Amino acid sequence: MKNHPKQSIEAGIAGIYAYNDTPPSDIIRPLSVVERETIERAIDAYDGNIAQAASALRISPSTIYRKQAQWKEIDDKDFNV
């Protein structure tokens, strides 16, 4: 009988926690945060060249521009700009 996916994830997280002594909350982060970090790292790696960063990530440059606009809106709201 196969493990339920949730049980497998929990077992994996427990294994990570036991191995690293790091709580799962420090390992598991929201996907939106990971996505933003990844896109920003790619842009940095390609010295700000959106087209090259997008190509490396296998997404459209317009996706990066759209995400950046969304992040700016969120950041502006957070800082009441």
- Among 62, 74, 64, 27, smallest CA distance to 42 is for 64
Q: How confident is the model at residue 77 (pLDDT cuts 50, 70, 90)?
A: confident
Higher pLDDT, residue 6 or 71:
71
What pTM was computed for the model? 0.66
- Where exactly are the structural domains of the chain? 5-78
Q: Per residue in 9-64, pLDDT tens? A: 566 656 655 556 777 777 888 999 999 999 999 999 999 999 999 999 999 999 99
pLDDT of residue 9: 56
- Among 38, 81, 79, smallest CA distance to 59 is for 38
pLDDT of residue 1: 46
